[in-house]
Chain A
Amino acid sequence: MNIPNTFDYDVIVVGGGHAGIEACLSTARLGHKTLLVTSNKDRIGYMSCNPSIGGLAKGHMVRELDVLGGQMAQIADETCIQFKRLNSSRGPAVRGTRVQSDKIKYSRRMKQIITEQTNLSVLESEVKALVLEGSACHGVILPDSSKVLSKVVILTTGTFMNGVMHFGLKQVEGGRIGDKASVGLSDQLKSFGLNVQRLKTGTPARLQKDSIDWSKTEEQFGDTNYYPFSFSTREFPQLPQIACYLSRTTEETHEIIRNNLDKSPMFCGVIEGVGPRYCPSIEDKIHRFADRDSHQTFLEPESLESDLIYLQGISTSLPEEVQDQFLRTIPGLENVKVVRYGYAVEYDYFEPTQIEKSLSSRAVQNLFMAGQINGTSGYEEAAAQGFLAGVNADKYLRNLEPLILGRELAYMGVLVDDLVTKGTREPYRMFTSRAEHRLVLREDNTIDRLANASLGIGLLSEARVEELLNVKSRRAKLLARLKETRITPTPAIQARMTELKSAALLKSTTLEELLRRPEISTQDAISFLGDVNEDPNVLDAVEIEVKYSGYIQRQNELIQQAKNLEDFKVPTDLVYYDVKGLSAEECEKLTRVKPLTLGQAQRISGVNPSAIQAMIVHIKGRKLLKENVLGRQYQQ
């Protein structure tokens, strides 16, 4: 078969999880005829593990998605049943929004949106293989061997590729309870030379609500100062807010688990895949931190419409009877009824250094990859990639430059750069500490950071663009007014200073300078302007920008410095084996990653500073050589 003359679709998205949703919605909305293939329509947007969206660094990404035109933020807002702003007592850059979402409503709403989306069809089926012609992908092959042709395929198959679930030493094929594994796809790509590895993740038991003695747990409510994810959300929260419940493991729990470690697939070598270090199973925690006699767990209702309770922090792959045993030693769970036992899943992922920053495959043309198959974990990480894959599929189809967000611009940019540059050996989760320019990547300034990029994507409606630019310009205007308005030490002003519990003015001062005083809020500062009536959306951002301007400025200087290396382009045809002074390991890594800039090269683990020096010398030397060839002869 040669390149097909006609295609059934512009884009086929394989997988209806959080990555797939964002991918198919963005291509459909950008005008491409799109097909979503999912093995189970009712599991579109399903939260396979914890029932929450956001968190530290993850909340940042949800907001970024919202400004860029993704879907996740609005639906998380709509279905919020508990709201929390994490780290609210710490500095402004590391505050993160997290909502607990009603997982039934969330999934239902996502399915509805996808069903109603024009340009988008859904096919309930499996993908057995890709239609590959040479090194190009032209569609997918279904179980009945029929082909569906498309110009681009986006793979977002999550944990389903060669997925194996472990319940103790019992193994069941599948990527999630009740769903089949997808077999064949990764073998096909492996035969194409792609490096495929195994990862592992796990989930805790789901409990029957009325079998729990709640009196032995500690009730925990969310925050009541609400900040929705989406800048377009007006009514928030819309649903009744619920509490979660705190309990702890006991010595007895630990004893039972210790005695049964031989039945844990993780501990007897059955599972080869690498699990997330930041989210270990309970048996892992007890084994590694033997000195701790208790671990906390949150009991979280999954939905207003169901009686299922998610047992946060106790993911396990021990056999069902052991789970029954140890769960009953946790206060409140003495008579607990388990609806679904915890289990571990092992699955295939593709080493992400094999994709471009656009998330397109290097080896296979017309193929994009997003989500867990790139080695990440988390709904937000998946959604961010799915969205970028969709947007870049659009760019690709229209022959435009891909959208690559810088590390100084968005956590989404950090995510992609980390994956493509460093690769990962464990499920990759975003942390604020992964972002070296963290002070400028805040939730409050998401609009300021990404408005321009968003306009370049073109996914926001006209009304939303106007709203976006409106917020941005109101912030800029307020900031300008604070900078140019001066107050002088008149008796009236000094009296007002006393009222604000702030020291008297010594000289004429701008309101911006005044706002730098720790005890002065933006509200206080604008009270001198008289006529300003702004919402917190504008005030908070301006306050942070002013109060921490010293730090923000230093961060910007560092960004500028980093830019020098970031602007130093590495020729794409550079043969690393020709570069003098590189170790064999460095050569191998650089050749694999093919960094676009020296900045990216520097972030590859195992590439030393001396290698960067060697590259500078080599690249400059090449340039000189080229200049000489072009006739710029040595001057007499």
Chain B
Amino acid sequence: MNFGEGRDHFTICSVSTPMGYGGISVIRVSGRHAFEITQKSLKKKNRTFESHKAFLDEFLNTQTLKSIDEVLVLPFEAGKSFTGERVVEISCHGSPVICTAILNELCRNGAELAINGEFTYRAFMNDRLDLVQAESILSLIHSHSELGSELALRQLKGELSSKVTQIKEDIVWCLAHIEAGIDFSEQGITVVEDTVLISKLESVNAHFKDLLDTFETGRVLKDGIVLVLSGEPNVGKSSLMNILLGNDRSIVSDIAGTTRDVIREDLLYKNLKFTLVDTAGIRTNSNDPIEKIGVERSIKERKDSFINLVILDASKPLKDQEDLIFKDLNLERTLFILNKVDLLKPTELPAKQAELKAILGSIIEEKPYIFDDNSLLFTTCKSTETKQLVLGRVYDYWIAKFAHIESVSVSSVRQREELRQAYELLIKVINGLNSQLGSEFIAFDLKGSLMALQRTVGEVYDDQILDKVFKEFCLGK
């Protein structure tokens, strides 16, 4: 953790509302000296800071003594605030310039800029929140959809914890049996066969895998779907992007290679955040070094995307497209868009579809190659229905293939990493059992797995194993 050690005595500050222009912005100051630090820049001296009593004042630049902004100051006494420390919330006018000036001033007065999540961390440290709750709050803040908020709320309610608890019980059962096998080996008690342990742990691991798979769903709900548009120059990527966004964000022209770098935009559709990424057209014969870099970036973006939209010009023979367009594509995550169908007769469409299938069949090395008809779309930028058509298809595609909305999701990277560690140690345990590794090493890995699992839900390991042993086995010489 970046925060914590060494920073605990700092008074920290940051803008708590999104940076940008708006009605107001709120700056939060937290720490033992929150009141004094704020006071230094207020026009009226020797104010009494009374908890939960807001007042209006001018915030000054203490060097020039000029007013930065008129602000509303709301103090919270220690123990009565979000972080548990003294907190001041300063509402100013919503401008990055004003916010930055106030932050500078606070820092000059002795505050430190907060690290991401540090307020929540302090709330956790001061026992205002437990670990999973703290993470859920971070998720709530960062969640970009209603579904995402719902997920965060579910975690606040502890669904992940209960799912993990089931897995944990199975592991404890196995561990108890292994420990009993070690410590009571001379007592002629029937301890479970390795094969039983293996099959039990394998089924535990299947649950694990499900849980880990939900991570992506959780992340999409939190961060949105990243949609990368790629294709040859001048097939209409930017026009399509504009239609999807409903404005003229990308500069459109007839000159191939207009979009030389990557352009990103967010939009909300069916309560889910989509991040659209418009990339430079992919072609190999360009001499322009800058365009070449753009092409490289396009290829890279496609690799990192959640779903690729590959845009092809339906009015031209598909075999004339650059081979590069089809290279390194994850077909499971790709939708092909045959654009400019307004230039075609409707009767020509089936032939186009067959043409695409043939090309993909010849390029894709995995045999047999099966083309999914759902991954092909005919569009025209001249129709207003195109937005609905494309986003609707992407949404359905995501729901059908990747979403685990009904299941509990793992959305924080920390949880995912702990779970992954638990999962990998469990695989090690199964291998160890198969290769007759010493029981204490198997137990060591299994306990490691259990501890990772307990860390996921913020518990620590305790003496439950021995109690289990005593409960289940007839011991005693």
- Tell me the A residues contacting B by CB distance below 8 Å: 50, 55-57, 86-87, 90-94, 276-281, 284-285, 288-289, 292, 295-296, 298, 312-313, 315, 422, 431-434, 436, 438-439, 548, 551, 554-555, 580-581, 602, 605, 609-610, 613-614, 616-617, 620, 624, 634-636
Q: Which residues of B sit under 8 angstroms from A277, Cβ to Cβ? A: 470, 475
Is B441 within 8 A of A548, CB to CB? yes
Is B125 within 8 A of A613, CB to CB? yes
Q: Which residues of B sit under 8 angstroms from A433, Cβ to Cβ? A: 179, 182-183, 443, 465-466, 469
Is A617 within 8 A of B127, CB to CB? yes
Is B474 within 8 A of A292, CB to CB? yes
B439 interfacial by beta-carbon distance below 8 Å: yes
Quick one: CB contact mask for B433-476 with A, threshold 8 Å, 1 for yes? 00001111101100110000000001111110110011000111
- Assuming the A-B contacts A56-B185, A609-B458, are A288 and B110 also in contact, with contact meaning beta carbons closer than 8 angstroms in the complex? no
Quick one: CB contact mask for B336-376 with A, threshold 8 Å, 1 for yes? 00000000000000000000000000000000000000000
Q: Which residues of B sit under 8 angstroms from A610, Cβ to Cβ? A: 127, 130
Is A87 within 8 A of B127, CB to CB? no
B36 interfacial by beta-carbon distance below 8 Å: yes
Q: Which residues of B sit under 8 angstroms from A634, Cβ to Cβ? A: 33, 36, 110
Quick one: CB contact mask for B408-439 with A, threshold 8 Å, 1 for yes? 00000000000000000000000000000111
Q: Which residues of A sit under 8 angstroms from B465, Cβ to Cβ? A: 433
Q: List 16 A-B contacts (CB under 8 A).
A: A87-B182, A87-B439, A90-B185, A90-B439, A91-B441, A278-B184, A280-B474, A288-B474, A431-B179, A431-B183, A432-B440, A433-B443, A436-B461, A581-B127, A613-B124, A634-B36
Q: Which residues of A sit under 8 angstroms from B246, Cβ to Cβ? A: none
Is A313 within 8 A of B438, CB to CB? no
Q: Which residues of A sit under 8 angstroms from B8, Cβ to Cβ? A: 620, 624
Is B125 within 8 A of A86, CB to CB? no
Cβ-closest chain A residue relative to B467: A277
B residues 123-168 touching A (CB-CB < 8 Å): 124-127, 130
Q: Which residues of B sit under 8 angstroms from A50, Cβ to Cβ? A: 477
B188 interfacial by beta-carbon distance below 8 Å: yes
Is A90 within 8 A of B438, CB to CB? yes
B254 interfacial by beta-carbon distance below 8 Å: no
When the two chains form the complex, which single residue of B441, B458, B461, B474 contacts A295, counting CB atoms closer than 8 Å?
Answer: B474
Q: Which residues of A sit under 8 angstroms from B183, Cβ to Cβ? A: 56-57, 94, 431-433
Cβ-closest chain B residue relative to A284: B476
For the complex with contacts A431-B183, A624-B9, A636-B110, 13 further pairs of A-B residues with Cβ separation under 8 Å are A55-B186, A56-B182, A276-B476, A279-B476, A280-B475, A285-B476, A313-B187, A433-B443, A436-B461, A438-B444, A554-B448, A610-B127, A614-B127
Q: Which residues of A sit under 8 angstroms from B33, Cβ to Cβ? A: 634
A122 to chain B, nearest CB (A): 33
Is A313 within 8 A of B477, CB to CB? yes
**Separation of A616 and B8 alpha carbons in the complex (Å):** 11
When the two chains form the complex, which single residue of A57, A298, A605 contacts B477, counting CB atoms closer than 8 Å?
Answer: A298
Q: Which residues of B sit under 8 angstroms from A609, Cβ to Cβ? A: 458-460
Is B110 within 8 A of A635, CB to CB? yes
When the two chains form the complex, which single residue of B127, B444, B469 contacts A613, counting CB atoms closer than 8 Å?
Answer: B127
Is A90 within 8 A of B182, CB to CB? yes
Is A94 within 8 A of B440, CB to CB? yes
B residues 89-132 touching A (CB-CB < 8 Å): 110, 124-127, 130
Cβ-closest chain B residue relative to A418: B463
Quick one: CB contact mask for B178-221 with A, threshold 8 Å, 1 for yes? 01001111111000000000000000000000000000000000
**Separation of A554 and B444 alpha carbons in the complex (Å):** 10
A417 to chain B, nearest CB (A): 13
**Separation of A312 and B187 alpha carbons in the complex (Å):** 10
Q: Which residues of B sit under 8 angstroms from A555, Cβ to Cβ? A: 444
Is A616 within 8 A of B441, CB to CB? no
Pairs of residues from A and B, 3 with the lowest C-beta to C-beta distance, nearest first: A91-B438, A581-B127, A289-B474
B265 to chain A, nearest CB (A): 42
**Separation of A33 and B461 alpha carbons in the complex (Å):** 46
B97 to chain A, nearest CB (A): 27
Is A617 within 8 A of B125, CB to CB? yes
**Separation of A313 and B474 alpha carbons in the complex (Å):** 11
When the two chains form the complex, which single residue of B187, B447, B466, B470 contacts A434, counting CB atoms closer than 8 Å?
Answer: B466
- Assuming the A-B contacts A279-B476, A620-B8, are A439 and B125 also in contact, with contact meaning beta carbons closer than 8 angstroms in the complex? no
**Separation of A181 and B440 alpha carbons in the complex (Å):** 42
Q: Which residues of B sit under 8 angstroms from A295, Cβ to Cβ? A: 474
**Separation of A284 and B466 alpha carbons in the complex (Å):** 19
Cβ-closest chain A residue relative to B438: A91
**Separation of A315 and B476 alpha carbons in the complex (Å):** 9
Q: Which residues of A sit under 8 angstroms from B443, Cβ to Cβ? A: 433, 438
Is B476 within 8 A of A280, CB to CB? yes
B468 to chain A, nearest CB (A): 11
A593 to chain B, nearest CB (A): 15
Is B474 within 8 A of A86, CB to CB? no
Is A551 within 8 A of B441, CB to CB? yes
Q: Which residues of B sit under 8 angstroms from A580, Cβ to Cβ? A: 127
A100 to chain B, nearest CB (A): 12
Cβ-closest chain B residue relative to A547: B438
**Separation of A298 and B188 alpha carbons in the complex (Å):** 11
- Assuming the A-B contacts A278-B470, A634-B110, are A432 and B125 also in contact, with contact meaning beta carbons closer than 8 angstroms in the complex? no
**Separation of A247 and B9 alpha carbons in the complex (Å):** 69
